[in-house]
């Protein structure tokens, strides 16, 4: 297998390679200091004196914005739950209406049968026989007090 690369020794900088000047910490006037007016000095002094309060206010603003975002998220969650509950309530109402309509239809059929019996068919069937027939019809229809 042929090698397509060469090894070379890396040159590392040694401490003596760098010439570092040591600064004595002397304060010198900036070329921009000529633009510092007394009003600006007063403003900078006020900022320096109240910097702790400024940071506290900024922290409070950030906290309020965080709480606002949390509140918006919670409101969105509550809105979704409200929609879901409204949909569940609609579904429940539709189911109950369907059940009620089914029972009403069955009761209407029984009412018509009883009306026909009392209007036309009393001669051929006794009340007891009719009662037994109606009980069987009702049990077959599944009409109950549920």
> CA torsion sign, 124 to 126 to 131 to 136?
negative
Is the Cβ–Cβ distance between 110 and 143 less than 8 Å?
yes
Is the Cβ–Cβ distance between 108 and 100 less than 8 Å?
no
Rounded CA gap, 58 and 45, in Å? 19
- Rounded to 10 degrees, what is the CA torsion of 72, 77, 80, 84? -160
pLDDT in tens, 80-131: 999 999 999 999 999 999 999 988 888 888 888 888 878 776 677 777 888 8
In whole angstroms, what separates CA 110 from the centre of its chain? 51
Rounded CA gap, 42 and 55, in Å? 19
pTM of the model: 0.46
pLDDT in tens, 41-57: 888 888 888 889 999 99
Residue with tokens 């297998």: 1
């Amino acid at each position: 297998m042929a090698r397509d690369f060469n090894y070379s020794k890396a040159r590392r900088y040694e401490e003596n390679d760098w010439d570092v000047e040591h600064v004595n910490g002397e304060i010198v006037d900036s070329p921009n200091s000529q633009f510092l007016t007394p009003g600006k000095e007063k403003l900078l002094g006020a900022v320096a004196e109240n910097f702790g309060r400024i940071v506290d206010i900024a922290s409070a603003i950030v906290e309020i914005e965080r709480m606002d975002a949390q509140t918006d998220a919670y409101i969105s969650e509550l809105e979704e739950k409200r929609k879901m509950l409204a949909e569940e309530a609609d579904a429940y109402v539709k189911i109950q209406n369907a059940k009620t309509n089914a029972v009403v239809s069955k009761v209407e059929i029984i009412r018509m049968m009883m009306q026909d019996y009392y209007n036309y068919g009393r001669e051929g069937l006794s009340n007891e026989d009719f009662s037994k027939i109606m009980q069987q019809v009702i049990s077959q229809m599944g009409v109950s007090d549920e």
